[in-house]
Amino acid sequence: MPLIASITLRQCVVFACAAALPLATLAAEVKVGLLGNLTGRAAASFGIPFKNGFELALADIAKSGVLTPTKTTIEVQTLDTNSEVTKAVTAFNQFAQQRLPIIVSDSQSPIGQAVAPLANDAKITFLSGAGSQLENKGGFAFRLADLKSSASGVGKHLIAKGAKRIAAIVATDNPSFPTLAAATLEGTGVSYVTTQNVTTKDTNFSAVITNLKSANIDALVLSVLPEQAGNIIQQMMGAGMQNVQLAGTLAISPQTFTIAGKAASGLVFPQAWAPGGGRSTAFEAAYRQKYNAVPTAYSGVGYHVAWMIAAAALEVEQAGKPINGDTLRAAMPAASTGALLKKHGILEIALNASGDSVSPGTLARFADNGDMVGAGN
């Protein structure tokens, strides 16, 4: 009896001391799981630029000291999905076993759609670069890509340039692409004269291009993977279709220009972000210096998302709550439009509680040297 009493007394002393400690002396570590498409078809266009931007942001966050008052640190663990759904789900499960509170996926609607229900079940906040609607019963999944706001600008641009017979090539096995294609002409009163459906694995477009020629089109919307867009443009030039106005979607990346070369220099496409100074000057310079490459839209999104996570973590910590999937989920919408993002972020992504985003984006094109510039430049 005396032993039990002394143990109980000792425990009370320990608890009392712990309770007396100010919150600021306790450090919080936010472990972020990154499902990176670092190899495979999505690597060059999406996965690698996103990861580069994300890591650059983590370095900037540490340097800026914004998390110092709460002694919060952000640590990222990256697993390569090989641009495959099965590997992404396996990677998610590994992160879930480690009880990570937040997981990020750079792109690929099929991956987002596979992981989102799992994230909701495991109560892990999930930020996905997917364009398609995600199953989101618990509200834990957030979709970073706003397909509609920026896509409609492309349709208006084509019509303003005199396009009368607009066609589309759509990779229908990725649910984002039909959505993007439809959003491009939404509200314009114009519909496609022909829509050629392909798959994301297609590489030979000779038959499709012949179909387009016979439809006598003067503009074409490419709602396909960026490498496919490059291939199509190249094959179109070989088929004598140089005078067709070309437009793309949010999926377009520098890979398109790498394949098609100068034939892609007239291509207009919406982007969440494009290089061109303003509030992203420092980011562009730092990115070029570190990676010896021009940042792409996905680099910008990766950078901005890291800051978004920092902002959400800071809000949770300042509210005196523990950092977990639930608290980060609740904090994310406000964090996405808060003061920290306005100061350190480089684009506009407003998340809402239902998991959707509003992001006006910008209209971009390829310059003759392949750099992405604003379409007005």
Partner 1 sequence: MEFWAQQTLNGLVLGSVYGLYGLGFGLVLANLKIFHVAHAAVFTWGAVFAWLLTARLGLPLWLALPVVALLSGLLNVLAYYIVVRHLLRRRHTQLAAFISSLGALMVLNELAAKVLGGMVERIPREAYPVHALHLGPLQFNTLDVTIVVLTALLMLLLGWLLHHTEWGREARAVAFNRDVAALLGTHVDQVSVGVFFLSGALGGVSATLVAMAFNVISSDLGDTYLVIAIAAMVVGGFGSVTGVLLGGLLIGLASTYAVAYIESSYRDLVVFVLLLLFLVVRPSGLLKTSNDLERV
The token pair at 263 is 């034939």
Select the span of 34-42, 158-166, 308-316, 366-374 touching partner 1 (CB under 8 A).
34-42
Q: Are the beta carbons of 158 and 192 closer than 8 angstroms? A: no
Residue 118: C-alpha distances to residues 6, 14, 111, 324 (Å): 47, 39, 11, 16
Binding mask of the shown chain, residues 132 to 171, with x at each position contacting partner 1 by CB under 8 A: ----------------------------------------
Strand stretches in the chain, DSSP E: 28-36, 72-80, 102-105, 125-128, 141-143, 166-171, 194-198, 219-223, 245-247, 268-271, 350-351, 357-358, 362-366, 372-374
Report if residue 11 touches partner 1, rule: CB under 8 A.
Answer: no
Burial of residue 41 (number of CB atoms within 10 Å: 0-12, 13-18, 19+): buried
CB of 197 to partner 1, least distance (A): 5
Question: How many Cα atoms sit within 13 Å of 100 on the Cβ side?
Answer: 22
User: Smaller CB distance to partner 1: residue 118 or 220?
Assistant: 220
- The CB-of-22 to partner 1 minimum distance in angstroms stands at 48
Question: One symbol per residue from 323 to 342: x for binding partner 1 (CB under 8 A), - otherwise; what is it?
Answer: --------------------
Q: Are 321 and 293 in contact (CB under 8 A)?
A: no
> Which lies closer to partner 1 via its Cβ, residue 42 or residue 119?
42
Binding segment toward partner 1, per CB under 8 A, in 137-145, 192-200, 243-251, 362-370: 192-200
Q: Which helix (H) or strand (E) holds 81?
A: none
Show contacts with partner 1 in window 217-236 (CB under 8 A): 227, 230-231, 234
Closer of 182 and 259 to partner 1 (Cβ): 259
Which token pair is 213?
A: 């020629």
Binding mask 235-274 for partner 1 (x = CB under 8 A): --xxxx------------------x-x-------------
Size of the site for partner 1 (CB under 8 A): 35
Binding residues (CB under 8 A) for partner 1: these are 38-41, 43-44, 80, 82, 172-173, 196-199, 201-204, 206-208, 210-211, 213-214, 227, 230-231, 234, 237-240, 259, 261
